[in-house]
Structure 1
Amino acid sequence: MSTSLKPSAIMHQHSIRKHTGFQLVPTISSFHCQCTKNPIVFNFGDSNSDTGGYADGLGLNFGPPNGRTYFRQPSGRLSDGRLMIDFLCESLNTSYLMPYLNSLGPNFTNGANFAISGSATLPKYVPFNLGVQVSQFLRFRARSPALKIKGYTDLVGDGDFQNALYTIDIGQNDLAGSFNYLTHSQVIDKIPSFIAEIKSAIWTIYQTGGRNFWVHNTGPLGCLPQKLSLHSQNASDLDEHGCLKPLNDAAKTFNEQLRVLCEQLRTQMVNVTIVYVDIYSIKYDLIANAPNYGFQSPLMACCGNGGPPFNYNATITCGNTGHNVCNEGSQFISWDGVHYTEAANAVFASKILSTNYSTPQLNFNFFCNKM
């Protein structure tokens, strides 16, 4: 299935409105906006928003059962279905974002996705970290209008970059990787360097005309089944919901510094809108209150190996020989121990679009009307 197709014709077959014991999660369609022009989005990030860049860049697709729920085949995403960025595109009534590295029939009329699985902010110049993604954008920014003038279609015109929406969701891999070789205090000390790279990225895009930024903070790292299975289980390290406090505390520190950065940039940049979205609270709320949303086993991977409590095995990960997978339709939050299921991503997206977790409280309708 081509991920460039508009989803509106099929999304009603995949409603995400759920009546549960205490919560009602609305469909993404209830947040649809009517753009007067084709919305344009440029996304930067890691596997949380990679729609196929890793597969295109390295020629290595994520095999079954990835993609089973929605696309019915692997789609280059580390999930059983759609990601948050896919649902956000649906809310704009636009096609799913094509990876920048897609060379086989790409369509970039609604923007491009520079996110690549495994990406981080540091070290610099390592494909495909944030700085490289921004460099790719700069090339796209220069070449797309020039080629469009020559008659090439499926590209973005020069005047559309200023009104485009620039979404940034990165940092999880910086923290996760740092904990592999640094102490907790050393990780905390390293966080400002991650924030500095995000600041540099936003400034660079701003200097090329970008004015609308949508910045996600990072999620509760200590609640990932992968991390829980690999770290020693000292009761003092766990919070009341079974998540690792040291890892979550580091994520909170990163998020606070990212929030402050967004505040600073709003005062330093002219005619700029920067929306900071508290993804941490959105994800943690679902994990902490999973039964209220109709989810089960919030700290266990749907697809993995080893069974309860985490179903994660670093040597037999989802898709590899020996893995097991929950029944389709099961309400799991974690897909493979690191990434989330479509069902969880749908809840996350609906909460993002509610604006309750955004500073300032602007939704995609605001950007839609500027496009």
Structure 2
Amino acid sequence: MYNIAIFAFVTIVLLLVSLASSTEGRRISPAPPCDFPAIYNFGDSNSDTGAISAAFWPTPSPYGTSYFGKPAGRNSDGRLVIDFIAEHLGLPYLSSYLDSIGTNFRHGANFATAGSTIIRQNESIFENGLSPFSLDIQTVQHYQFKTRTSELYHQGNLHVISLKIGIHIFSAKKKSFMKKLSRPQDLSKALYVFYIGQNDVAAGIRKLSFELQKAAVPEIISQFTTQIQTLYQRGARIFWIHNTGPIGCLPVATVKVQDPLPGYLDENGCVKSQNDIAIEFNKQLKDEIVKLRSERSEAILIYVDMYSAKYGLITNAKNQGFEDPFSICCGHHGIGYDVWCGNKGNVNGSEVFGGSCGNPSKVISWDGVHYSEAANRWIANRIINGSFSDPPISISKACQKA
């Protein structure tokens, strides 16, 4: 009886080992990272890499000094979140579609423009710091980009064919030009990034009551999703969509507050009503993205909670190596005055210059509205790994269905 028990035990162990070995042999390897050939970005100043500088007014010094050593068309002392995304994916920084000098579009293009909104604003856009390049204009620009690129690429290929049959000499200059063109076949494989909505929320705060702001949100979201649908119909398939950040935590909002009534600021010192509108915008945006997933089964739509990432940094600034989250590195802002970064202005009867602080790497806000490179890096590191994504997937795996 004892020998039979031992035999049975040994038999079971051998069977389990055999099954484990068999399972090990069939184990599915993790899917490799996506090999995105290009990025196409749409947005506002949070991801503008040179549009406003090319179209209207150049970004002044000391913008760009922490990384580029000079103004680089970005509203920061250095790189933006979109720059860190490109780095992470092994792609070069995006050239602005509006920048015609020294641009290279082989790996994508940036249609984001500082001051842009989702809905066209019925106000003096320049007076209020807004851009004429609303999201629908940006998607039209993308269509023009796609159409013209295909034409030029086709012409270039004809020259190559002519060269092969000895009719035309394909010059080195032409080859160099072709290398800067997006390849038509890459458009449907590219990553489409969105980072827009903050200016729509800000415009509502300036013009409307809180209830009217809430009532305006559905139309803003509808316009947003319409442009996503438009890009889908033109071949886009992979969408990485940032929601809007905690606008009530921007220092240009908080430094204007003097003797606030109870409840005006939240427990972390941000303007509560402004953040409430941003939260409502984000909720409705997420709902619509979930709905779009069911309607567009071929699309991959990833919702990225930029609000939570930014708010997490602001509320935990000192533990993350930053100073006061509401301090401003470049420029001077307060009750009754604004001297913007890189400009001169008057404060209490004295002329001052909006220059940079001594150590931008210790501040979250670069100029009161835009984040420093150090903060952008911190935020990018938190969102690209999928920690703030729905579905929870990293940006390097964004081409794969969850």
Q: Note whether the superposition's TM-score is higher than 0.5.
A: yes
Residues 344 and 34 of structure 1, relative CA distance in 2, 3 Å threshold? farther
In the alignment, which residue of structure 2 is the partner of 1:26?
none
Q: 1:1-371 residue pairs with structure 2 within 5 A?
A: 39-58=37-56, 60-123=57-120, 127-151=132-156, 152-231=178-257, 233-305=260-332, 314-321=337-344, 322-367=353-398
Q: What amino acid is the match of 1:289?
A: N
Partner of 1:3: none
**d(CA) in 2 for partners of 1:155 and 1:369?**
26
Contact 1:312 1:337 in 2 (8 A): no
What 5-or-longer segments of structure 1 have no aligned partner?
A: 1-32
Once residues 314 and 216 of structure 1 are traced to their aligned partners in structure 2, the CA distance between those partners, rounded to angstroms, is: 32
User: CA–CA distance in 1 between the matches of 2:213 and 2:219?
Assistant: 10
- Secondary structure of 2:40's counterpart equals strand
Cα RMSD between the aligned structures?
A: 2.0
Deviation per CA, 1:258-283, whole angstroms, max 9, x where unpaired?
00011000000031100000000000
State whether residues 39 and 368 of structure 1, in contact with CA within 8 Å, keep that contact through their aligned partners in structure 2. no
Q: Please say which of residues 148-157 and 343-352 is displaced more in the overlay.
A: 148-157
Instruction: Give the secondary-structure state (helix, strand or coil) at the position aligned to 2:152.
Output: helix
Greater CA drift, 291-300 or 312-321: 312-321
- Secondary structure of 2:369's counterpart equals coil
Query: Which stretch shows the higher mean deviation, 143-152 or 280-289?
Result: 143-152
In the alignment, the residues of structure 1 paired with residue 200 and residue 32 of structure 2 have an alpha-carbon distance, to the nearest angstrom, of 37
CA 1:37–1:223: 2 relative to 1, 3 Å? closer
Contact 1:191 1:254 in 2 (8 A): yes
Structure 2 vs 1, CA of residues 286 and 261 (structure 1 numbering), >3 Å: closer, same or farther?
same
Q: Distance in 2 between matches of 1:84 and 1:330?
A: 15
Larger radius of gyration: 2
Deviations along 1:291-350, whole A, 9 cap, x unmatched?
1101101012111115xxxx6875311111222431135410000000000000001000
Task: Give 3-state SS (helix, strand or coil) of 1:75's partner.
Answer: coil
Confirm or deny: 8 A CA contact 1:99 1:112 kept in the other structure.
Answer: yes
Secondary structure at 2:54 match in 1: helix
Counterpart contact for 2:36–2:189, Cα < 8 Å: no
Q: What is the one-letter code of the residue matched to 1:44?
A: F
Higher relative contact order (CA 8 A, sep 6+): 1
Task: Give the counterpart letter for 2:211 in structure 1.
Answer: S
Q: Which amino acid aligns with 1:331?
A: K
Task: Answer whether contact 2:251 2:328 (CA < 8 A) is retained.
Answer: yes
- Between 341-350 and 152-161, report the one with greater CA deviation: 152-161
Change (3 A) 1:68 1:269: same
CA 1:107–1:35 in structure 2 vs 1: closer, same or farther (change >3 Å)? farther
Equivalent residues of 1:67, 1:73 under 8 A apart: yes
- Taking only the aligned residue pairs, the percentage that are identical comes to 42
CA contact (8 A) 1:303 1:336 kept: yes
SS across alignment from 1:166: strand
Question: What is the TM-score with the length of structure 2 in the denominator?
Answer: 0.79
Structure with the largest fraction of helix: 2
Per the TM alignment, residue 138 of structure 1 is displaced from its structure 2 partner at its CA by 0.7
Kindly indicate whether the alpha-carbon contact (under 8 Å) linking 1:304 and 1:313 is maintained by their aligned counterparts in 2: no
**Range with greater deviation from structure 2 (185-194 or 320-329):** 320-329
Is the deviation greater in 271-280 or in 361-370? 361-370
Contact 2:63 2:70 in 1 (8 A): yes
Alignment-mate amino acid for residue 292 of structure 1: N
Counterpart CA distance in 2 for 1:246 and 1:348 is: 24
Asked if 1 retains the 8 angstrom alpha-carbon contact of 2:64 and 2:74, the reply is: yes
Aligned to 2:174: none
Give a deviation string over 1:164-211, Cα, whole Å, max 9, x none: 111011100001011111111111110111101111110000001111
